[in-house]
Amino acid sequence: MTGLSRSISTRVSTSNGHLRHQTPANGRATWRGRARECYADDGSGYRKLVRQRNVYKRLEQIGPDFWYFPAGAKCWLTIPKRKEEEVTQFLPDNGLPWQVTQGKRYVGGFIGSEDALSAWIEPKVENWTFAIERLARAAVRYPQTAYTSLARSLQ
């Protein structure tokens, strides 16, 4: 399991709906190793699965000092299909309630395999194509309205 590197998307819940940044009383809230990307209350990382587990467990320990409460059930681990059985056994053995996927939407994009990307994007393309065809029919009679719809809704 030590050779498996994957990405994880972590979502945390916060007290009273506010993310508060405070220095803990012990002053030991330091992070070592690779940089982590965070946006609002979402965090992500890419590293070996054992390291992901260690970072998450550490976040569970020091997070409350910053009013930062990881929600393990909202965490997603993106892995290749060939590693799915190994990972699904690793997670419960290590007390991790993470969900496993081969691909998932992330910050306006997608992380995962080509097959998962195709399954995710095909319905979106079909809906967009349907909307454009309807818009083209409406544009014959209502060109200004169609233009406004295109500019504001079908970006």
State percent of the chain over pLDDT 90: 35
Residue 22 and residue 95 in one domain: yes
Q: Does one domain contain both 15 and 81?
A: yes
Note whether 60 and 22 are same-domain residues: yes
- For tokens 């916060």, the residue is 14
Q: How far apart are CA 131 and CA 106, in angstroms?
A: 24
Q: What are phi and psi of 100, to 5 degrees?
A: -110, 140
pLDDT at residue 108 in the model: 81
Whether residues 25 and 99 fall in one domain: yes
Q: What letter would DSSP give residue 34?
A: S
pTM over 0.95: no
C-beta pairs of 37-42 under 8 Å, 24+ apart in sequence? 39/107, 41/11, 41/12, 41/13, 41/14, 42/9, 42/10, 42/11, 42/12, 42/107
Instruction: Specify the pLDDT at position 36.
Output: 56
> Are 62 and 28 part of one and the same domain?
yes
pLDDT exceeds cutoff 80 at 117: yes
Say whether pLDDT at 52 is over 90.
Answer: no
Taking residues 53-58, report their average pLDDT.
88
Whether 121 and 69 share a structural domain: no
Q: Do 70 and 63 form a contact (C-beta atoms < 8 A)?
A: yes
Phi, psi of 130 (to 5 degrees): -60, -45
Residues 136 and 62 in one domain: no
**Among candidate residues 54, 76, 60, 58, the one with its CA nearest the CA of residue 13:** 60
The mean per-residue pLDDT over the stretch 127-151 comes to 94
State both tokens at 105: 């939407």
In the numeric block, which tokens belong to residue 26? 């012990």
Q: What angle do CA 80, 96, 79 make, to 5 degrees?
A: 5
Same domain, 146 and 75: no
Split into its structural domains, the chain has a count of: 2
109/129 Cα distance (integer angstroms) = 19
The residue range of the domain holding 125 is: 115-152
Do 76 and 126 belong to one domain?
Answer: no
